[in-house]
Amino acid sequence: MGIKDTDYKKLIQNGAQIIDVRSPQEYKSGHIKNSKNIPLQTLSSKLKSFPKNKAIITVCASGIRSANAKGILKTQGFDAYNGGAWQQLQNKIS
């Protein structure tokens, strides 16, 4: 499934967590409500705090860091999706 055909609204309705992998400064300048800010460089050390039974949607500014984050999560057995740029995902789910 690619970014275009993923039903992000449904994932969120089913309890998916949005992880914003931008820096804290970027996150403070705007973010999706109820998203968690976990910068990409600290993601690997935080994996134990994520439930394995819930989907995770990663976002960033353009989709590059979130793609990297999705890859990290997938290799650790998580159900992860790259939501791409946070503003675009926000428009899709609101």
- Full set of structural domains in the chain with CATH: 8-93 (3.40.250.10)
Tens-place pLDDT, residues 35-46: 999 999 999 999
pTM beyond 0.85, yes or no: yes
Tens-place pLDDT, residues 65-86: 999 999 999 999 999 999 999 9
Cβ neighbours of residue 57 under 8 Å, at least 6 residues apart? 8, 11, 12, 16, 17, 18, 19, 80, 81, 82, 83, 89
